[in-house]
Amino acid sequence: MKISLGPKTLLYPTPVLVVGTYDAKGKPNVMTASWGGICCSQPPCVNISLRQATYSHQNIVDRKAFTLSIPSDGQVRHADYFGLASGRDTDKFTASGLTPVRSELVDAPYVSEFPLILECRLVHTAELGLHTQFIGEVMDVKIDESSLNPEGKVDICKIKPLLFAPDTREYYGVGEFIAKAFSVGKEG
Amino acid sequence: MKISLGPKTLLYPTPVLVVGTYDAKGKPNVMTASWGGICCSQPPCVNISLRQATYSHQNIVDRKAFTLSIPSDGQVRHADYFGLASGRDTDKFTASGLTPVRSELVDAPYVSEFPLILECRLVHTAELGLHTQFIGEVMDVKIDESSLNPEGKVDICKIKPLLFAPDTREYYGVGEFIAKAFSVGKEG
């Protein structure tokens, strides 16, 4: 028997995405967001939603670019810190000791120490209410070579991305392999 | 040192979302999609991207509504099957033995046996290329009472949602608790 929780943002899992931008003075900034994901295969696009009040929001509007840096679970303190502090009054890269790298493809920086990077140019903006959704075309994906499996594919068990659980506001890691997709369902 | 993988849809983790719709004759249909997530807190909105070729795409355009049913990892065969078969020539509910429930709030059905349900009315559509992104306002969330923790919050360890790993096309489960969000980053 199901019970009603009302209209809420409860969807599992959500990712932990660190959005990289430059401000008007060229200072690199990062903020963490979990309202985002993949939204188109061709051209490859991702979406990220930010509140208009955030420093990063204006940076994306101005620069028409952002990166997504995906932290490993061992980098959770950095990821959480990037969601707590504001670039308006803090240089989060300096405070964290992490390294901003200027993208050669889009006008935005990414986090050198995080294992997976998406470099995105802004292609679509939707004002949805408290959040603005930015859609970026992925111009390149960069990865630590050590996060690939022997076949050259991205190994989620090596990236060890974080999951965010909205209602309890907790981070989890990736668990066990369950099944091959586009395969296990054929068995009926 | 990072290496370049080119412009690809590689973001981790992505969710496993079963999209429920009615077709023109009122037949309930379900399909599985991983290009989606939460995109606005107020009003609460979620996004899901479908190829125009899918049967569900037309259903959402016509009915202006969809549901998201989130399966547990033990229901992976059903979830994968829903992504392999097409509602054009198959009654996936009958074939799977699962039960469609008519939403009382939106013109779409959901999967009774899955632990977490979002009932959504279409509020925004974006043509991005191969995929169309549909944004739905969440009118209600329904959950198995057994998936709540003692404080009445959604317990991700009881829902046990699937994660989809794009490059290797694999499903994973939820792993260990890592840290409290909006907290662990304060420790510096």
pLDDT tens over chain B, length 188 residues: 899 999 999 999 999 999 999 999 999 999 999 999 999 999 999 999 999 999 999 999 999 999 999 999 999 999 999 999 999 999 999 999 999 999 999 999 999 999 999 999 999 999 999 999 999 999 999 999 999 999 999 999 999 999 999 999 999 999 999 999 999 999 75
Residues in chain A: 188
**Contact at CB, A2 and B40, closer than 8 angstroms:** no
| Over residues A168-185, mean pLDDT | 98
**Contact at CB, A36 and B39, closer than 8 angstroms:** yes
Mean pLDDT, chain A, integer: 97
Task: Using CB atoms, pick whichever of A2, A7, A47 lies closest to residue B143.
Answer: A2
| Cβ atoms B166, B172 nearer than 8 A | no
What's the rounded Cα separation, in Å, for the pair B70 and B115?
7
Task: Inform me whether the C-beta atom of residue B100 falls under 8 Å from chain A C-beta atoms.
Answer: no
Confidence tier at A172 by pLDDT (50, 70, 90) = very high
Question: Chains A and B: how many Cβ contacts under 8 Å?
Answer: 365
What's the rounded Cα separation, in Å, for the pair A152 and A12?
28
Task: Inform me whether the C-beta atom of residue B58 falls under 8 Å from chain A C-beta atoms.
Answer: no
Q: What is the pLDDT of residue B63?
A: 98
- With CA atoms as reference, the chain B residue closest to A82 would be B185
Q: Which residues in chain A are closer than 8 Å to B78, comparing Cβ atoms?
A: 185
Cα–Cα nearest to B29, from B81, B76, B71, B104: B81
Q: How far apart are the CA of B89 and the nearest CA of chain A, in angstroms?
A: 16
**Contact at CB, A129 and B39, closer than 8 angstroms:** no
**Contact at CB, B5 and A143, closer than 8 angstroms:** yes
Task: Inform me whether the C-beta atom of residue B102 falls under 8 Å from chain A C-beta atoms.
Answer: no
Task: Inform me whether the C-beta atom of residue B183 falls under 8 Å from chain A C-beta atoms.
Answer: yes
| Cβ atoms A124, A38 nearer than 8 A | no
Q: What is the pLDDT of residue A188?
A: 58
Q: What is the pLDDT of residue B65?
A: 98
Task: Inform me whether the C-beta atom of residue A97 falls under 8 Å from chain B C-beta atoms.
Answer: no
Q: How far apart are the CA of B58 and the nearest CA of chain A, in angstroms?
A: 17
The tokens describing A99, both together, are 């390294």
Q: Which residues in chain A are closer than 8 Å to B18, comparing Cβ atoms?
A: none
Task: Inform me whether the C-beta atom of residue A53 falls under 8 Å from chain B C-beta atoms.
Answer: no
**Host H or E run for residue A116:** strand A116-127
What are the distances in angstroms from CA B135 to CA A80, B20, B57, B167, B188? 27, 14, 12, 25, 37
The tokens describing B22, both together, are 């009615």
What are the pLDDT digits (tens) for A129-157? Answer: 999 999 999 999 999 999 999 999 999 99
Task: Inform me whether the C-beta atom of residue B113 falls under 8 Å from chain A C-beta atoms.
Answer: no
Q: Is residue B6 left, alpha or beta, with left meaning phi > 0 and alpha meaning psi from -120 to 50?
A: left
What are the pLDDT digits (tens) for A7-40? Answer: 999 999 999 999 999 999 999 999 999 999 999 9
| Cβ atoms A37, A15 nearer than 8 A | yes
Q: What is the pLDDT of residue B168?
A: 98
Q: How far apart are the CA of A121 and the nearest CA of chain B, in angstroms?
A: 11
**Contact at CB, A80 and B182, closer than 8 angstroms:** yes
Task: Inform me whether the C-beta atom of residue A169 falls under 8 Å from chain B C-beta atoms.
Answer: yes
| Cβ atoms B154, B165 nearer than 8 A | no
Q: What is the pLDDT of residue A1?
A: 79
The tokens describing B91, both together, are 């009654």
What's the rounded Cα separation, in Å, for the pair B29 and B108?
9
Radius of gyration of chain A (CA): 17
Cα–Cα nearest to A59, from A26, A98, A101: A26
Question: Count of alpha carbons within 13 Å of B22, Cβ hemisphere only?
Answer: 15
Q: Which of B57, B151, B178 to mutate to test the interface with A (most CBs of A within 10 A)?
A: B178
What's the rounded Cα separation, in Å, for the pair A21 and A3?
41
Q: Which residues in chain A are closer than 8 Å to B140, comparing Cβ atoms?
A: 4-7
